[in-house]
Structure formats: structure tokens, C-alpha cells
Amino acid sequence: MFEGVIPALITPFNNDETQSLDFDGLRSCIEHVIRGGVHGLLACGSTGESATMSHQEHIHVVEETVSAASSRIPAIAGTGSNNTEEALMMTRAAKKCGADGVLLISPYYNKPNRSGLIKHYTKVAEIGLPVIVYNIPGRTGQNLPADLIIEMVKTIPNIVAVKEASGNIDQMMAIIKGTQDIERDYPFILSSGDDSLTLPVMSIGGAGVISVTANIEPKRVVKMYELFKKNDRIGAMKMHYELMELSKALFMDVNPVPVKRAAEIRGLIKSGGVRLPLDSLSETMTENLRAVLAKYD
């Protein structure tokens, strides 16, 4: 269900005093990526600014995403927290909304030990939705090592995938090797959490990408994936390098500041504004971003 190109959707805000949710902009973004051929949607991840939304806003965005997907492609909800009870509450809400699965970031700031991590993921998985483990040590301050991922895959049936954003290819290979022979009803998959590593990760057995770049250029990211799946390695490599400049530009400042500005420049949303403590892209960076985007028009 979760293989392929899955954009980590931005959450557009209106340019008003409270920066209220822009549901028209959200639907515009969703239709754009679906027309581009993506294989799923992720709402309320890091790119979706879940950290600055209230619980009610978070739930509304998941509801809108599920509704806009209209069963055409899977809709995944980010429901992670460093508070297990909060993660449980948000996962139950996602299930009620009709989400097809959840992305669960490892608990940040409090840095639980191995036993705490396993108990955290076990409790959330008991709700019954498929769980994608999200390993992004740059945001959580704690890496989930390969042997821990493998242990959880062996013992928690609802864990179906990992979004790997550690940047550590050796670790990813260890996860793929250590999970490929585990007997389950469905194969466990590893997806890249970094656009720049999508093709390298697929070459070692990865199943795709949960992507920032696909918000802007879904057709090109999907084409790279499909070329690789058709064993056209040269074609996939050419597309990988074609996308490289854009992928780098979308991280010229902290995610999702550049990608939201890019969506505004492309006319997908009315405002690329972010909520504090994030701040808007500088004028110089914005002009650089415009120049890069022009190359993909």
C-alpha cells in the first residue's frame, strides 16, 4: 500500500491574522500531486507543520486529505508525539477520519530508552492502523538503530514500513537485509526520507520515497521511480540528476519554508506563509528559488 512516491503534503495557511487553515489551497495541492501520478498522500508530517497546529486543526487537515483522496490513493496521517497518550489520541482520530495508515515519528526531546521505544510503538500499533516508523534523528535527537527496527518488525505486526531519514545508507541496508526474510502477511518496506537519496535507496532495495520535492514536481519524481521499476537504470539516473537542483533548493532553508514558497510561486496556494517560530524565506533566497523553478517550467 505504501510503496512508490508519497508527497509529504504542505499545510497552506491563509494570509490573515491567525494564519487559519487554507483548505482550498490544500485541495489544490492534493489535486496537483494526484494528477502527477503519486501513489499516496501524507498529511501532517514535518513538512505539514504539524508541530504548530492545534489538535483540532490537525484532525481537520487529516479529514480533508482523506476526503480529497476519495479512495483514489492511500491517505496517511502523521500522528507522532513524544507523549504516548497524545500519539494514541491522534492515531485514534486518524482512524476515525478514515486514514489508511499513520506515520509515527520516534519520540523527540525526551529520548526514551530501547524498552520505552518498543512499548510506545506497540501501544500505538494496537489501535489497528498500519504504522510507518519515522526515523529522523536530525529532528528527534535520537537514531533508531537497525537492530531495533528489525526487532519491532518481528514483534509488532502493524509496523509495515519505515521512513528512513537518517542519511545512513549502511543502516538502511542492514534494515532491508534484516527484515526481508521475516515471515509476515505482507513484506516490510523501507522508503527514503530524503529526496536526494531516493534513487540510491531504491538501488539497495528501498520501496520509494516520502517526498518534499513531489509537492512541486510530482510527475518528474514519479517518472524517476517508474523508470527504475522498469529497469531503466540510465533513465532513472538522468531524472535523478535532473531533479537534484530543485531538491537542493527546497532545502536552502529549514523545511517546509522553501517548499511552501515554491508552491506559492507556482500558483498552487495563495500564501506560502509559515507559522512562528519558522519565518518566511528571505528575498534573496526567494529570487534564487524562482530562478531554479524557472528551469522546470
**Catalytic center residues:** 134, 163
Are 106 and 132 in contact by the 8 Å Cβ rule? The answer is: no
- With vertex at residue 77, the alpha carbon angle to CA 70 and CA 109, rounded to the nearest 5 degrees, is 170
Q: How far is CA 36 from the centre of its chain?
A: 17
Rg (C-alpha) for the chain, rounded Å, is 18
Q: What pairing do the DSSP bridges indicate for beta strands 159-164 and 189-192?
A: parallel
- The H-or-E segment that residue 7 falls in is strand 4-7
Residues 50, 33, 225, 151, CA torsion sign: positive
Centre a 10 Å sphere on the Cβ of residue 196 and count the other Cβ atoms it contains. Answer: 17
Give the type of residue at 29. Answer: C
**Phi, psi (degrees; rounded to nearest 5) at 209:** -150, 140
Q: CA dist 31 to 36, 53, 71, 185, Å?
A: 8, 23, 13, 32
Q: Which residues contact 182 (CB under 8 A, 6 or more apart)?
A: 150, 153, 154, 188
Q: Which amino acid is at 250?
A: L
